[in-house]
Amino acid sequence: YPILQHLVWILGLKPSTGGSLKAGRTPSDSNAVITTAVMADLPVLSAMLSRLFESSQYLDDVALHHLIDALCKMSHEAMELAYSNRKLQTLLLGPLSELSSVPHGDVRQRQLECVLQILHSAGETLSHGWPLVLSIIGAVSDHHGENLIRIAFQCLQLVVTDFLPVMPWRCLPLCVDTAAKFGSQTQELNISLTAVGLMWNISDYFYQNKEKLCQSLSGDSTVFPDFPGTPNMPPFDKLWMCLYARLDCCIAIIFVSTLLLVTGVGQI
């Protein structure tokens, strides 16, 4: 019963004479919880809830528990459907991604903190949102300063350590490129070294999930670049080549940066 009462409150419904429910506030109400788009459906929802309330009052405790379990299950299924909705994820993450073009550091910091919160709370359900999330993380470069690089790298670490198994295979090359950007940056040598370690973690994931990835990659290889002289390279081998090519570049940059730091010629 408290669950149904809470739903009625969210929808802004109030009991009327005769026991039925009706909309208790207008769209212009500053305290309205729902949007104008939902208001058109309120009469239907009101009628359904009224019938539900009227029917449930005659149920015994066992039947009432079954009713509540069924409502919770329907709610859970609806939430899973919403989480996996491509259009919804793009709608929510698109504006966040557009903030990458804002030059102000405080805005970028809030953007990355928001991404970190999304990863912690809903990373396992992103699916279609991974390209946008990875593009936000990878949009940070040397000129943004050490603080932003650290926050962005924190996001990347969480992605690689926790979410590779749920990431669509099409996003794996982008994940490799994003890790390589941090391995190539020269603001923080420790982050560069740790990023190379993350790329080894990615390679370990490739190795341990070879069969699964080969099955996924067999349908389409358009996400991979062309490698000269190897026109018939299998998609799984292309995935490895993407990793090796970027890893080689990172190690070369780290070597030069470390050499300059040790000799005192340059400064990281």
In terms of Cβ atoms closer than 10 Å to its own Cβ (0-12, 13-18, 19+), residue 262 is: exposed
CB atoms closer than 10 angstroms to residue 227: 13
260 contacts: CB under 8 Å, gap ≥ 6: 266, 267, 268
CB 133 within 8 A of CB 94: no
d(CA 213, CA 84): 21
pLDDT value, residue 156: 96
213 versus 64: the higher-pLDDT residue is 213
Give the range with max mean pLDDT: 41-45, 70-74, 210-214, 245-249: 210-214
pLDDT value, residue 230: 74
CB 45 within 8 A of CB 11: yes
pLDDT of residue 23 exceeding 60: no
Tell me the pTM.
Answer: 0.64
Structure tokens belonging to residue 30: 């500053």
Q: What percent of the chain has pLDDT over 90?
A: 29
pLDDT value, residue 29: 46
DSSP H or E stretch at residue 15: strand 13-15
CB 182 within 8 A of CB 148: no
Average pLDDT on 80-98 reads 76
Structure tokens belonging to residue 122: 């809903």
Structure tokens belonging to residue 221: 């290889």
**Which candidate, 194, 121, 119, places its Cα nearest to that of 164?**
119
What's the one-letter identity of residue 246?
Answer: R
In 3-state terms, what secondary structure has residue 31?
coil
pLDDT value, residue 203: 92
d(CA 178, CA 158): 13
78 versus 173: the higher-pLDDT residue is 173
pLDDT of residue 154 exceeding 90: yes
In terms of Cβ atoms closer than 10 Å to its own Cβ (0-12, 13-18, 19+), residue 58 is: exposed
